[in-house]
């Protein structure tokens, strides 16, 4: 890889923490705390992304709504549809999409739509030097 061809696959997080649509929000929150992450991707039984549950979703859709996290499930609070891209996209294009859509995370999928990874703001920041050099 030279300095001009970083693609999403080179920068994404491959070890994605997932949840199922009927997982309890309380369990998702515990998982997020244990893993020190701010979101989980909600997938179906075939690993197709259905949505994303973020810390903000839990605050807005559970706590602020006085819902019980021990009875509320992921599918009722997740953000959907989740924005997806394939891992062969250039990092600069992914970062631009995140900026345009005002999102902090992108779901990375294979050509057949199955979950492969996640691109977070942190992943982009790790490659900020590369991105800055694109504009020089």
The residue segments making up the domain with residue 76 are 8-134
pLDDT at 131 (0 to 100)? 62
| Domain of residue 95, CATH code | 3.10.580.10
Say if 25 falls within a structural domain: yes
**pLDDT tens, residue by residue, 43-86:** 999 999 999 999 999 999 999 999 999 999 999 999 999 999 99
Examine the pLDDT at 2 and tell me if it is beyond 80. Answer: no
Q: Is the pLDDT of residue 107 over 70?
A: yes
Any domain includes 1: no
**Single pTM value for the model:** 0.88
Question: Is the residue at 30 inside a domain?
Answer: yes
Q: Is the pLDDT of residue 134 over 80?
A: no
- Residues 10-54 have pLDDT tens digits of 999 999 999 999 999 999 999 999 999 999 999 999 999 999 999
What is the number of domains present in the chain?
1
pLDDT number for residue 132? 64
Identify whether 2 is part of a domain.
Answer: no
Domain-located, residue 103: yes
User: Is the CB of residue 85 less than 8 Å from the CB of residue 94?
Assistant: yes
The answer to whether residue 3 is domain-embedded is no
For residue 129, pLDDT beyond 90: no
Q: Are the C-beta atoms of 85 and 109 separated by less than 8 Å?
A: yes
82 in any annotated domain: yes
Backbone angles phi, psi at 16, to 5 degrees: -90, 135
- In angstroms, rounded to a whole number, what is the distance separating the alpha carbons of residues 134 and 126? 15
Banded pLDDT at 136 (limits 50, 70, 90): low
Q: Quick check: is 57 in a domain?
A: yes
Q: Give the model's pLDDT for residue 1.
A: 42
Query: Counting every residue, how long is the chain?
Result: 136
């Amino acid at each position: 890889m030279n300095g001009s061809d970083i693609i999403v696959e080179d920068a994404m997080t491959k070890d994605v923490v997932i949840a199922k649509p009927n997982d309890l929000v309380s369990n998702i929150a515990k998982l997020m705390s244990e893993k020190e992450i701010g979101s989980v991707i909600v997938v179906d039984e075939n690993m197709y992304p259905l949505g994303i549950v973020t810390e903000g979703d839990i605050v807005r859709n559970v706590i602020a709504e006085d819902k019980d996290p021990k009875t509320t499930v992921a599918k009722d609070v997740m953000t959907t549809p989740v924005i997806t891209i394939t891992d062969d996209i250039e990092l600069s294009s992914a970062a631009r999409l995140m900026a345009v859509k005002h999102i902090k995370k992108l779901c990375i999928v294979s050509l057949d739509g199955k979950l492969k990874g996640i691109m977070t703001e942190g992943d982009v920041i790790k490659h900020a030097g590369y991105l800055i050099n694109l504009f020089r």
